[in-house]
Amino acid sequence: QVQLVESGGGLVQPGGSLRLSCAVSGFTSKYYVIAWFRQAPGKEREGISCIVIGDGTTYYPDSMRGRFTISKDTAKNTVYLQMNSLKPEDTAVYYCAQGPHGSGWDPYEYHYWGQGTQVTVSS
């Protein structure tokens, strides 16, 4: 059974940090993409970063470079998103998603999604 489960969201003050986790299970292929997306109220879902599970290559859209870092722990089947210098505009529900190798920033490329975890940046 394919499953992605996010955790690590919460309330953080501006300038603070959070690390999100995405526990991945049920995939038999070793060459696929796990991506992090976010969606704020009234806005479209946007891509933050992605990692190729087979070789660890990471990608970021230009708008997300600098404060976000994606990584993986193969032994734990977990993908992480380290978020630093958080701003109120980072407030959103954060999702991890699985797609085939070559997937980019279009959410429709991704076949499986986690339930999402809320991140709120506020003082």
20-77 residue pLDDT tens = 999 999 887 778 999 999 999 999 999 999 999 989 999 999 988 899 999 999 999 9
Enter the tokens of residue 14. 């501006």
What pLDDT, in 10s, does the model give residues 88-122? 999 999 999 999 999 999 999 999 999 999 999 99
Q: Which pLDDT belongs to residue 64?
A: 86
Q: Which pair of tokens denotes residue 49?
A: 């970063």
Instruction: Report the percentage of the chain scoring pLDDT > 70.
Output: 100
| C-alpha torsion angle, residues 7, 113, 13, 60 (rounded to 10) | 120
According to DSSP, residue 43 is labeled S
